[in-house]
């Protein structure tokens, strides 16, 4: 794999039906021409991703959505105009030009307009949408730097476009409309509070047992490090800590525990900072010599909910 900043080279590879790592403001994606089923199949191969798991398509601007979807429910229109480009994905009724492999046979397609300048520049130059899941092997921690993509997929992908560290640091929030209500299928970079402020409807969290679209972000085990991760809802009991464990915290470190094995997502309890540090720290700790990661829950507000969601799914005790 080559890592670089050459948008032309990325475009050439994509035009030829190859897959390319791309930066976005949420996490790095593994992109291919969404209208070319053979190119899309290479994404599934490189990630070892089950074929029943559909992909998000990425567009340069809101104006292009009508080319690929039948309709946009009126409830979603204010959200589209307020948050796009940005970390919000919409589940919408697809047109026939979106191949079945992209949606895993579903009549709905997930659409996102990323705001990262590098991927915006790339999307403006090509005349097809990019299908792109996060650029990690299926189930593993999402990549938030070109180096993470290189470390995980170097033998499987020819090129990754380096756009620096992802600023948001967790995946997009996925929303849709069901029976007149706004439904959130995956918590992410846009909070429930932000959505609620823009809609009269009650914002509902998709219920796993219901017959609504299932997203892999809803799978019980996902975003997992190779090491064991334990999730604690209250304070971590010092008696639970074994010699070679490390701690992933929010806020100040605990003076009764060795400082060097405590890692805080944000010492001054800033949820935005914590979000952008979550995956870098998980990658770092997974590559360290510590045996287990003991992670402390964040407050269940704003981005804290999305972080807790990732930590629970990464853990073996939840």
Which residue ranges make up the site for Mg ion (CB under 5 A)?
A: 134
**Footprint on this chain of ligand TXA (rule: CB under 6 A):** 24, 26-27, 29, 53-56, 87, 89, 91, 103, 106, 108-110, 112, 114, 132-134, 171-172, 174, 186, 213, 215-217
CB 191 within 8 A of CB 307: no
89 binds, among Mg ion, ligand TXA, none (CB under 5 to 8 A by kind): ligand TXA
Choose between 218 and 241: whose C-beta lies nearer to ligand TXA. 218
56 binds, among ligand TXA, Mg ion, none (CB under 5 to 8 A by kind): ligand TXA
Choose between 138 and 261: whose C-beta lies nearer to ligand TXA. 138
C-alpha separations of 211 from 160, 192, 215, 288 in Å: 37, 22, 12, 41
Surface-to-core class of residue 125, CB atoms within 10 Å of its CB (0-12 exposed, 13-18 middle, 19+ buried)? middle
CB of 182 to ligand TXA, least distance (A): 16
Choose between 47 and 292: whose C-beta lies nearer to Mg ion. 47
Buried-exposed string 264-302: b where 16+ CB fall within 10 A, e elsewhere: bbbeeeebebbbbbbbbbbbebbeeebebbbbbbbeeeb
132 binds, among ligand TXA, Mg ion, none (CB under 5 to 8 A by kind): ligand TXA
CB of 47 to ligand TXA, least distance (A): 9
**Crossing angle of helices 7-15/117-125, nearest 10°?**
50
297 binds, among Mg ion, ligand TXA, none (CB under 5 to 8 A by kind): none
CB of 210 to ligand TXA, least distance (A): 13
Residue whose CB is nearest to Mg ion in the complex, by number: 134
C-alpha separations of 204 from 51, 175, 217, 219, 314 in Å: 28, 10, 16, 18, 23
26 binds, among ligand TXA, Mg ion, none (CB under 5 to 8 A by kind): ligand TXA
CB 302 within 8 A of CB 311: no
CB of 69 to ligand TXA, least distance (A): 11
Choose between 26 and 296: whose C-beta lies nearer to ligand TXA. 26
Look at residues 23, 25, 34 and name the one whose alpha carbon lies nearest to residue 129: 34
Cα Rg of the chain (Å, integer): 19
CB of 111 to ligand TXA, least distance (A): 9
106 binds, among ligand TXA, Mg ion, none (CB under 5 to 8 A by kind): ligand TXA
CB of 213 to ligand TXA, least distance (A): 4
User: Residue 99, Cα to own-chain centre: how many angstroms?
Assistant: 22
User: How far is Cα 297 from Cα 310, in angstroms, rounded to an integer?
Assistant: 10
Q: What is the dihedral of CA 271, 218, 198, 60, to 10 degrees?
A: 90
CB of 95 to ligand TXA, least distance (A): 13
């Amino acid at each position: 794999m080559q890592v670089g900043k050459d948008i032309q080279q990325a475009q050439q590879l994509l035009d030829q039906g190859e897959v390319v790592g791309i930066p976005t403001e949420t996490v790095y994606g593994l992109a291919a021409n969404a209208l070319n089923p053979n190119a899309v199949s290479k994404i599934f191969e490189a990630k070892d991703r089950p074929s029943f798991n559909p992909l998000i398509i990425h567009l340069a601007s809101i104006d292009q959505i009508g080319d690929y979807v039948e309709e946009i429910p009126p409830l979603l229109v204010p959200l589209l105009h307020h948050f796009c480009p940005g970390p919000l994905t919409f589940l919408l009724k697809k047109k026939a030009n979106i191949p079945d492999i992209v949606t895993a046979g579903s009549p709905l397609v997930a659409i996102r307009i990323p705001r990262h300048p590098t991927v915006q520049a790339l999307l403006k130059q090509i005349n097809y949408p990019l299908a792109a899941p996060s650029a990690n092997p299926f189930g593993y921690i999402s990549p938030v730097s070109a180096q993470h993509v290189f470390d995980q997929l170097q033998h499987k992908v020819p090129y990754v476009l380096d756009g620096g560290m992802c600023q948001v640091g967790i995946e997009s929030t996925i929303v849709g409309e069901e029976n007149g209500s706004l439904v959130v299928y995956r918590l992410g970079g846009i909070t429930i509070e932000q959505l609620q402020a823009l809609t009269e409807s009650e914002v509902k969290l998709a219920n796993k047992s219901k017959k609504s679209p299932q997203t892999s972000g809803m799978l019980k085990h996902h975003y997992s490090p190779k090491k064991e991760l334990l999730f604690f809802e209250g304070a971590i009991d010092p008696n639970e800590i074994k010699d070679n464990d490390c701690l992933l915290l929010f806020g100040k470190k605990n003076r009764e525990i060795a400082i060097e094995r405590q890692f805080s997502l944000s010492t001054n309890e800033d949820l935005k900072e914590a979000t952008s540090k979550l995956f870098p720290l998980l990658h770092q700790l997974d590559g360290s010599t510590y045996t287990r990661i003991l992670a402390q829950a964040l407050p269940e507000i704003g981005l804290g909910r999305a972080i807790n969601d990732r930590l629970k799914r990464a853990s073996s005790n939840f």
